[in-house]
Homo-oligomer: A and B are copies of this chain.
Amino acid sequence: MKTSNFKNKNTTNNIFPEALPLMVDKKLKEYIKGYKNVPEKLVKPLKYCLLSGGKRFRPVLSLATAISLGYNPEFVLPAACAIEFIHSYSLIHDDLPAIDNDDIRRGKPSCHKKFGEDIAILTGDALFAESFNIFLKYQKGTPDAKFQALSEIASASGVSGMVAGQIVDIGSTDSKISKRMLEYIHINKTARLISASVVSSAILCGAKRHTVKQFKKYGLYIGLAFQITDDIIDIKSSSLISGKTRGKDQVQSKNTYPSIWGLDKSKIIAKENIDKAVRAIDKAKTNSGLLKNIAKYVLLRKA
C-alpha cells in the first residue's frame, strides 16, 4: 500500500489537515455500524462518546506519520481508530464523579451525566476492549510489525503509561508537587499515548529503528506540549470554545503547568517542546511537512 507520491489535497494549505479527521470519523462510524448483535444499551453510549466530534488529534497523527513515510494513510486507519477508542474510554473514566467529576465533555453532558455512572464505567471498558479487537481484526502488516505496534499502544495505556500518570495526578491534587513530578504526570497521562499514535504507525509502515526513535521523541515532545496547552486552555478559554468546564483545574486544586510555572513561562515551555519536536522530526529525514504543521497547531489551538 506504499504510495510514495501520495498527496492529500487538503493538507498542504491548512495548518491542521482537515481531511484526515474526516477519514477517521468515517471509519469510526463504520466500525460502530458493524456492531450488529451488540445490545442497544451499549451501542448508544458508544456512539454518543465516540462520535461526539473532536479534532481526532491522535489518529490524525497516526495518519500523518504514514503519509510522511510515503504510505497511504488508509493503511494505518485501524490502528489509528483503535487509539481513538482508547482516548475516548480514558475521557469517560476521567470524567466520572469519583475521578475528575466533569459534567461537560465536548460541549455536551459527559457520558455518566447522560447515561448514568454504571453505563459510563462499562462503556469505557467496552471501548478499551474494542480498541484491541479493531486492531487485531483489521490492521494489516507483517506479524512482527503488528505485535510491536500493538505493544506500543498497550504499553502507553497501562501501568507504565496513561493509568500511571492519572493515578499520580489524582493522588497529588491539593498538594504542591515538584516540577519533575508534574512532567512525569503529563508525559504519562497524555504524551505516551500521543507518542504511541506516531510510533505504532511508523512501525507498521516499516520505518527503521533510527527513524522510529526520532518519531518517538517527536511524539513525546508534542504530547507534553499538548497537555501544557490543555492546562492553558482550561484557564483562558470559555467553556463554549473548549467544550469543557472552564477553570476546572483551579477549582479542583490540580497541579498544572500554569499553577506551578505561571502562565507566561508555561507558554514558553510549550513552545520549547514544539521546537524540540520539529528538530526530532527533521532528523528522521522523512516527508515531514504535515507533522510539522500539526506540531505548530498544538500551540495555536483554542480547544
Contacts and interface: CB of A to CB of B under 8 A. Distances in A.
Given A39-B164, A164-B38, A96 B122 contact: no
A168 B41 contact: yes
A93 interface: yes
B128 A99 contact: no
A203 interface: no
B158 A133 contact: yes
Interface stretch (A69-77, A141-149, A205-213, A234-242): A141-149
Nearest to A171: B41
Interface string A71-105: 00000000000000000000001001011000000
A266 to B, nearest CB: 24
A157 B46 CA distance: 15
A158 B126 contact: yes
Interface stretch (A1-9, A19-27, A111-119): A111-119
Contacts of A268: none
Q: Which 10 A-B pairs have the closest CB atoms?
A: A129-B158, A143-B143, A98-B117, A132-B154, A126-B163, A129-B157, A38-B159, A136-B151, A98-B118, A42-B167
Contacts of A167: 39, 41-42, 119, 122, 126
Given A38-B159, A126-B158, A171-B41, A133 B121 contact: no
Contacts of A133: 151, 154-155, 158-159
Interface residues of A, number: 49
Interface string A123-134: 011101110110
Given A132-B154, A154-B129, A154-B136, A160 B99 contact: no
Nearest to A130: B158
B98 A116 contact: yes
Contacts of A122: 93, 99, 163, 166-167, 170
